[in-house]
Amino acid sequence: MSAAGRAIAITGANGGIGRHTALALARLGAHVVLVCRNQQRADEATAFVRDNAPNARASSLVADLSTLAGVRGLARDLSALGGLSVLVNNAGVICRRRAITDDGFELTWAVNHVAPFVLSTMLLETLGANAPARIVNVNSDSHLHGTIDFGDLNSEKGFWPPRAYERSKLANVLFTKELARRVDPARVTVNALHPGLVNTDFGEVGGIVEFGWRVYKHFGITPAEGARTSVYLATSPEVAAKSGGYYRKCVLGPVNPLAEDAQLATRLWDHTERSVRG
Ligand SMILES: NC(=O)c1ccc[n+]([C@@H]2O[C@H](COP(=O)([O-])OP(=O)(O)OC[C@H]3O[C@@H](n4cnc5c(N)ncnc54)[C@H](OP(=O)(O)O)[C@@H]3O)[C@@H](O)[C@H]2O)c1
């Protein structure tokens, strides 16, 4: 699928992998829509893309993806845009401390699982109208260590940042595979990916998480390199009509065996759907 002329939305586009995903897609001729948390970050990110890709068609939208209101507002804005055919769910967090959002979700769960779930399902009709369309979920090999405890999705029994992150990313792979089972791949494909260890500000949230991340990230690849698999899944003809996969370095990679459990995926889908009902 050629990127030229297509409208592609990228969440978490103001920094790290997302910003370079937007730039690479703009260079391929896409109309990139940079979704950022606030206007200043959106303006800076859009300027970055335009400065580095002079003929780029770049615009921005602002949304706080930790709130259902923010996610739903974004879905409406993206639908109204017209022509959206690729959604890159790139925004993600690891949190230093347990925090509960206005909607009652643990923050890591809200941003990494609930937001892509709500945004993608709300945009299915819009994407389908612009078929062939794609959803790309930026995941992590951290999901390999994740487990889903339906009795404690809000970490009430104790909060450990990596555990909350691993669980949220496993949920996102389960969602990717379940959505792929529910949607005709001729209309909309959905795939997830691990970008590699990428030298970004991702873990700079203070405390022990930041201490570890600042050491670890120096072994990482650049954000431009980290964007490659996202760009591949968003545009390559090689993955046309391929859905439900988990990719690393642009090839299929191993997943947590729990991610292959279709019953678990259905249960999580139903649970998430109930939990976001107003
Ligand atoms: N870096 C790695 O080694 C690595 C490895 C595996 C997977 N990943 C995944 O890659 C993705 C991008 O991470 P990154 O490394 O590029 O880190 P990053 O630079 O921190 O990017 C994360 C993006 O998500 C946005 N975001 C977080 N919470 C948000 C919210 N409530 N509303 C709106 N936007 C929000 C951030 O916006 P703000 O700047 O406003 O906070 C930022 O733009 C994440 O999903 C991460 O889990 C990264």
Q: Quote the ligand 1 centre to 21 CA distance (angstroms).
A: 12
Q: Is 37 in the pocket of ligand 1 (CB under 6 A)?
A: yes
pTM of the model: 0.98
Is 216 noted as a catalytic residue in this protein? no
Q: Are 112 and 135 in contact, with CB atoms under 8 Å apart?
A: no
Angle between the N-to-C axes of helices 16-27 and 228-235, in degrees from 0 to 180, rounded to the nearest 10: 40
Going by pLDDT thresholds of 50, 70 and 90, the confidence category of residue 92 is: very high
- Give the closest residue (by CA) to ligand 1 atom 30: 65
Instruction: State the sign of the Cα–Cα–Cα–Cα dihedral 258, 261, 263, 269.
Output: positive
Q: CA-to-CA distance for 90 and 44, rounded, in angstroms?
A: 18
Note the pLDDT tens digit of each residue in 25-54: 999 999 999 999 999 999 999 999 999 999
For 102, the token pair is 């206005």
pLDDT tens digits for 106-130?
999 999 999 999 999 999 999 999 9
Q: Which atom of ligand 1 approaches the CA of 203 most closely?
A: 20
Mean pLDDT of 176-205: 97
pLDDT surpassing 70 at residue 278: no
Residue 178 has pLDDT above 80, yes or no: yes
Which residues are paired to 190 by β-bridges? 135
Among protein residues, the one with the nearest Cα to ligand 1's atom 20 is 202
- The finding on whether 162 has its CB within 6 A of some atom of ligand 1 is no
* 14 CB near ligand 1 (under 6 Å): yes
**Alpha carbon separation from 46 to 22, 33, 138 (Å, rounded):** 9, 9, 21
Q: Which of 23-27, 181-185, 201-205 has the lowest mean pLDDT?
A: 201-205
Determine if ligand 1 sits within 6 Å of the CB of residue 176.
no
**Ligand 1 atom having least distance to the Cα of 41:** 40
Q: Residue 230: which of 139, 112, 117 has the closest Cα? A: 139
> Does residue 115 contact residue 71 with C-beta atoms inside 8 Å?
yes
Distance CA 2, CA 21 (A): 15
What does the mean pLDDT of the chain come to?
Answer: 97
Task: Write the residue with the smallest CA distance to atom 46 of ligand 1.
Answer: 92
111 lines ligand 1 (CB under 6 A): yes
Whether residue 23 is predicted with pLDDT greater than 70 in this model: the reply is yes
